[in-house]
Amino acid sequence: MSAVLEVSGLEKHFDGLHVIDDLSFTVGEEALGIVGPNGAGKTTMLNLVAGELRPDRGSVRFDGREITRLSAHRRARAGIGRTAQIPRPFDGLTVYENVLAGAMFASGSGRRARARLAVAALARTEMLEAANVRAGSLRLLDRKRLEIARALATRPRVLLLDEIAGGLTEPEIERLVELIRAIRGEGVVIVWIEHVLHALLAVADRLIAMDRGRALVAGDPQDVMTSDAVRSIYLGEAAP
Residues 225 and 236 in one domain: yes
Residues 51 and 141 in one domain: no
Residues 145 and 204 in one domain: no
Higher per-residue confidence, 11 vs 104: 11
Q: What is the mean pLDDT of the chain?
A: 93
In a domain, 84, yes or no: no
> What is the spatial distance between Cα 189 and Cα 29, in angstroms, rounded to a whole number?
6
In a domain, 191, yes or no: yes
Residues 187 and 174 in one domain: yes
Q: Is the pLDDT of residue 239 over 70?
A: no
Residues 197 and 230 in one domain: yes
Residues 58 and 5 in one domain: yes
Residues 5 and 65 in one domain: yes
Q: Facing residues of 80 across strands?
A: 158
- pLDDT band for position 109 (cuts 50, 70, 90): low
Residues 61 and 100 in one domain: no
Q: What is the pLDDT of residues 29-84, one digit of tens each?
A: 999 999 999 999 999 999 999 999 999 999 999 999 999 999 999 999 999 999 99
**pLDDT, average across residues 89-103:** 95
In a domain, 7, yes or no: yes
Q: Is the pLDDT of residue 208 over 50?
A: yes
- The residue out of 123, 154, 185 marking a domain boundary is 154
In a domain, 66, yes or no: yes
Range of the domain at 195: 1-79+156-240
Q: What is the pLDDT of residues 126-162, one digit of tens each?
A: 999 999 999 999 999 999 999 999 999 999 999 999 9
**pLDDT, average across residues 78-104:** 94
Instruction: Classify each residue of 144-156 as buried b or exposed e, where b means 16 or more C-beta atoms within 10 Å of its C-beta.
Output: bbbbbbbbbbbbb
- pLDDT band for position 238 (cuts 50, 70, 90): very low
- pLDDT band for position 16 (cuts 50, 70, 90): confident
List the CATH number of the domain containing 209: 3.40.50.300
Q: How many CA atoms lie within 13 A of 119 on its CB side?
A: 6
Split into its structural domains, the chain has a count of 2
Q: What is the pLDDT of residues 171-204, one digit of tens each?
A: 999 999 999 999 999 999 999 999 999 999 999 9
Beta carbons within 10 angstroms of residue 103's beta carbon:
24
The per-type count for the chain, helices as H runs and strands as E runs, is 9, 10
Residues 51 and 120 in one domain: no
- What does residue 99 show for φ and ψ, rounded to 5 degrees? -70, -35
Residues 139 and 184 in one domain: no
**Residues recorded for the chain:** 240
What would you report as the CA-atom Rg of the chain, rounded to the nearest whole angstrom? Answer: 18
Residues 51 and 142 in one domain: no
- The residue out of 124, 154, 184 marking a domain boundary is 154
What DSSP string runs through 38-74?
A: TTSSHHHHHHHHHTSS--SEEEEEETTEE-TT--HHH
- pLDDT band for position 232 (cuts 50, 70, 90): confident
Specify the pLDDT at position 240: 40
In a domain, 85, yes or no: no
Specify the pLDDT at position 235: 58
Phi-psi category of 143—alpha, beta or left, where left has phi over 0 and alpha has psi -120 to 50? alpha
Residues 123 and 202 in one domain: no
> What is the spatial distance between Cα 150 and Cα 139, in angstroms, rounded to a whole number?
16
pTM of the model: 0.93
